[in-house]
Amino acid sequence: MTDLDRLFREYHQPLVRYLTRRLGDRDWAEEMVQETFLRAARQDSIVSERSWLFAVATNLVRDEARKDARRRRHLELLREQAKADDVVEPEPLTIERAEEAALARRALEMLAERDREALLMREEGLDYTEIASALNLSIGSVGTTLARARRRLVEAYESLQPRESAARGPHAASR
Amino acid sequence: MQHLDEGTIHAWLDGALNDEETTAIARHLVECATCTAQVAEARGMIAGASRIVSSLDVVRGNVIPPAAPVRAGSVWRRLRLTPARAALAASVLLAVSAMLAVRHDTPNKMVPKTVVSGPDARVSAPAAATAPAPATAVPARSVSVVRPDSAAAQPRAETTATAAPPAKAAMSTAAANQAVAASAGTAVDTVKPHDEKAARIVAAPQSFSPAATAAAAGAPGFASAQGVSARPAMNEMRSAALGALTPGCYLVERDSSAWLRVIPPRFALVRDDAAQRNVVRAITLDAHIDSVVPGSAWREIPNRGIVVDFRAQPELRPVSLTLSASGRVAEATSGAESRPVEVRRVGCPH
């Protein structure tokens, strides 16, 4: 098994999950992860592979976000085509879970970019050294960043909650 | 040592500090109620944020399997029993049997005291409770061998909750915690802002003798306990009791050990009949049974309890948690390392 195979097996799923959470778009996330591994293949050696992969994936997303929407529209078109071809829906979602996910996404979007990335990396199991390395932070500031990110996420989520409940009417409130 | 800042507390809870720092913080927390309250708040933040992030995973694809609704299997729901009701019923039965024993016992009817241990001991109390016949039953001894965590035997230990700052998010996290416990018919440590005194809250009985509950529910084994041959009936009762014990929900009081982070703070042991396996599901802060904890499983070990295995995550080792039927302290084991962990059994969210 080559190094790239091993890297792919070990980190593909965490990276896809990280970027899907970050972007809210699995297809886009998959594409970014593919690009990340292509870049890894071009490297002679990678010292801290997990933090390197997450850093590259994060930077790719940042770069991507700065570009104009043309490529994204193209991807969305591709995604629609893929959806049309995809007859099997693997995850039947309940309305409640979908609403909860939408709320969580809105709350996450309210965080500063660095806080959001640190939090999502931590949720993927990266330790403080790896997060610091991937985001160019000092190790000492990772705890503060995570504390702030967690607090703001919970507060943002809860600040959105009553409005959502009120908008849905009394049934939602009594749920 | 001055008060801990929020970042340090999170780093400590995330297991990111070295041994020296960890020890210093642990020592400081023993004597600083303010920081202890902040640690509790930070734990809530970590769990809450984690749950919010997890809820993003409902996107199409196999990121995390969707949570299947947990319906059947709850003994309490089938019997319309809550732990509190069961404990009350068991208490009444035991009180009546003890009263009858005091009234009717004479010295020549008393059976010599013997040491009762093991599963037989566990079931003898309710057996006597339902069969207080003075000639064969041994009420006095039976009462004395009710499991220590039985609601009928003694109330739960008092817990002390220290004052916490009234942060909005913390309050709502505490409220969510209460929702979990409230659905279990229990009281939890409530966070009282600006309360000078530590709030002493006597938790309602939540851990109870399954055998006593089975007695209250009229489990078949208890009727046969009146007969001559008690052992088969006792085995039957024990099976019934274990059946009532195993699929349930638990709250874990974790310490700062990094390797225990693999254990979710609230989890439910569930039998997945479709997949023919035992799975562990996380319980959310707002009292919903959530997704299956990846790679986790549980199994019964006869005469020992339940062993719950949690798979390793990237930086965490696999941990086995042994839930003993005899108390609230479980044993967490990872490799050669093991330590006691406080685990509270609660009713499952409906």
pLDDT digit string, tens, across residues B74-113: 444 445 555 566 667 777 777 887 777 766 654 544 444 4
Nearest to B82 by CA among B203, B206, B202, B180: B206
Q: With an 8 Å Cβ cutoff, are B314 and A14 in contact?
A: yes
Between CA B175 and CA B27 the distance in angstroms is 29
Per DSSP, the three-state class of A16 is helix
Looking at residue B63, what is its pLDDT?
Answer: 41
Q: For residue A150, is pLDDT > 60?
A: yes
Instruction: Read off the pLDDT of residues B129-138 as tens digits, 9 standing for 90 and up.
Output: 333 333 333 3
Please, what sign has the CA dihedral across residues B215, B278, B183, B78? negative
- pLDDT: is A37 or B141 the higher one? A37
Complete DSSP assignment for B278-335: EEEEEE-TTS-EEEEPTT-EEEEETTTEEEEEE---TTS--EEEEE-TT-SEEEEEET
Angstrom CA distances, A2 to A5, A6, A162, stand at 5, 6, 52
- pLDDT: is A64 or B126 the higher one? A64
Average pLDDT, chain B: 60
* Burial (0-12, 13-18, 19+ Cβ within 10 Å), B135: exposed
Kindly report the nearest CA distance between residue B10 and chain A, in angstroms. Answer: 6
Between CA A110 and CA B266 the distance in angstroms is 28
**DSSP summary character for residue B246:** S
ipTM of the modeled complex = 0.73
DSSP H/E element including B187 = none
Q: Which of A25-34, A50-59, B315-324 has the lowest mean pLDDT?
A: B315-324
Looking at residue B54, what is its pLDDT?
Answer: 86
Residue with tokens 């001991």: B121
DSSP H/E element including B160 = strand B158-161
* Chain A stretch 41-70, residues whose beta carbon is closer than 8 A to a beta carbon of chain B: 50
- Interface check for B172 against chain A (CB to CB < 8 A): the answer is yes
Q: How confident is the model at residue A142 (pLDDT cuts 50, 70, 90)?
A: very high
Residue with tokens 């500031």: A141
Q: Tell me the average pLDDT across A12-41.
A: 89
Looking at residue A135, what is its pLDDT?
Answer: 94
Complete DSSP assignment for B19-48: HHHHHHHHHHHHH-HHHHHHHHHHHHHHHH
Instruction: Read off the pLDDT of residues B248-305 as tens digits, 9 standing for 90 and up.
Output: 788 877 665 667 777 888 888 888 777 778 888 888 766 777 777 777 888 887 777 7
pTM of the model: 0.42
Looking at residue A165, what is its pLDDT?
Answer: 54
Task: Find the distance separating the first CA and the last CA of chain B, reported in whole Å.
Answer: 45
- Greatest CA span in chain B, whole angstroms? 74
CA atoms within 13 A on the CB side of A88: 3
* Residue of A100, A148, A151 with shortest CB distance to B55: A100
Do residues B266 and B282 lie in contact, with contact meaning Cβ atoms separated by under 8 Å?
yes
Q: Which two tokens stand for residue B326?
A: 């005899």
* Chain B stretch 48-87, residues whose beta carbon is closer than 8 A to a beta carbon of chain A: 48-50, 52-64, 66-67
Cβ count near B155 (within 10 Å) = 12
Do residues B322 and B333 lie in contact, with contact meaning Cβ atoms separated by under 8 Å?
yes
Which alpha helices (DSSP H) does chain A contain, by range?
3-23, 26-42, 49-66, 70-85, 95-109, 113-123, 128-135, 139-168, 170-174
- pLDDT: is B199 or B6 the higher one? B6
Angstrom CA distances, B228 to A145, A171, B108, B225, B317, stand at 69, 57, 20, 8, 51
Looking at residue A132, what is its pLDDT?
Answer: 94
| Strand ranges, E, within B182-226 | 199-202
Between CA B142 and CA B122 the distance in angstroms is 9
Q: Tell me the average pLDDT across A16-31.
A: 88
Q: Tell me the average pLDDT across B227-251.
A: 49
Give the residue on A whose Cα is nearest the Cα of B13. A143
Q: How confident is the model at residue B167 (pLDDT cuts 50, 70, 90)?
A: very low
- pLDDT: is A40 or B246 the higher one? A40
Strand partners, B251: B266, B344
Please, what sign has the CA dihedral across residues A58, A60, A66, A71? negative
- pLDDT: is B39 or B284 the higher one? B39
Q: Which two tokens stand for residue A140?
A: 């000492």
Q: With an 8 Å Cβ cutoff, are B315 and A124 in contact?
A: no
Percentage of residues in chain A having pLDDT higher than 70: 76
Q: Which two tokens stand for residue B164?
A: 């916490």
Looking at residue A107, what is its pLDDT?
Answer: 93
Looking at residue A154, what is its pLDDT?
Answer: 93
Give the residue on B whose Cα is nearest the Cα of A147. B7
Between CA A126 and CA A50 the distance in angstroms is 8
| List of chain B residues whose C-beta atoms are within 8 Å of the C-beta of residue A105 | 56
Looking at residue B204, what is its pLDDT?
Answer: 30
Residues A13/A15/A19/A21 CA torsion (nearest 10 deg)? 60
Looking at residue A97, what is its pLDDT?
Answer: 74
Instruction: Read off the pLDDT of residues A70-128 as tens digits, 9 standing for 90 and up.
Output: 666 666 777 677 666 654 444 455 677 778 888 898 999 999 999 999 999 999 989 99
Looking at residue B320, what is its pLDDT?
Answer: 86
CA atoms within 13 A on the CB side of B64: 25
Looking at residue B208, what is its pLDDT?
Answer: 33
Q: How confident is the model at residue B193 (pLDDT cuts 50, 70, 90)?
A: very low
DSSP H/E element including B340 = strand B337-346
Q: Which of A2-6, A91-95, B55-59, B138-142 has the lowest mean pLDDT?
A: B138-142
- pLDDT: is B301 or B240 the higher one? B301
Strand partners, B299: B307
Instruction: Read off the pLDDT of residues B198-208 as tens digits, 9 standing for 90 and up.
Output: 333 223 333 33
Looking at residue B233, what is its pLDDT?
Answer: 43
| List of chain B residues whose C-beta atoms are within 8 Å of the C-beta of residue A97 | 55, 58, 66-67
Residue with tokens 């409220």: B175
Which stretch, A13-27, A116-130, B58-72, B79-93, has highest mean pLDDT? A116-130
Q: How confident is the model at residue B156 (pLDDT cuts 50, 70, 90)?
A: very low
- pLDDT: is B168 or A23 the higher one? A23
